Amino acid sequence: HNDVLQKLLRKVRKGTELVYIPGNHDEAMRDYCGSQFGGVAIERQTIHTGADGRRYLIMHGDEFDVVVRYAKWLAFLGDWSYTMALWLNTHLNVVRRWFGMPYWSLSAYLKHKVKRAVNYIGEFEQALSQEARRNGAQGVVCGHIHHAAMRQVGDVVYIN
């Protein structure tokens, strides 16, 4: 992580604009939104104009997660369960390698098998796309739900 930070800070020193957007795992940093440290701006969200000329709303996305906002204990339980699934996944794949089997993601399998999770992802994408429209953006880039995607949601490009 230190190498990545050093490279980012080097880019800042050479004139690149860098915006840090805290999320639910580092929400204490939200107290510093609107501040700058060492040339790094801390914001809840920002607008980026892409090489294609489109305006993209950049945000973490946890603001649109009702569990994180209204049931912190459930979010904690989900976070713990996800961490345990990742741990189990690591050990399961060690055994799979012994048998010459390819990598397989237990957490992705579980997430995609649960219908509610799939519905939740769709609602999350819709909510963030609407927020992009409200901000006059043609796209939204977020990361909160850890479900990689790049798709058109109506007239908005949704990227996670």
Return the DSSP state at 64.
G
* C-alpha–C-alpha distance, residues 157 and 40, integer Å: 26
Residue ranges of domains in the chain: 44-159
- Who contacts 142 (Cβ-Cβ below 8 Å, separation ≥6)? 58, 59, 60, 61, 128, 159, 160
Tell me what pLDDT residue 36 has. Answer: 96
Tell me what pLDDT residue 93 has. Answer: 92
Measured between alpha carbons, how far apart are the two ends of the chain, in Å? 21
CA-CA-CA-CA torsion sign (85, 87, 88, 94): positive
Taking only the tens of pLDDT, the chain with its 160 residues reads 899 999 999 999 999 999 999 998 888 999 999 999 999 999 999 999 999 999 999 999 988 876 545 556 665 666 787 788 889 999 999 999 999 999 988 877 776 666 566 556 668 889 999 999 999 999 999 988 877 899 999 999 999 9
pTM reported for the whole predicted model: 0.70
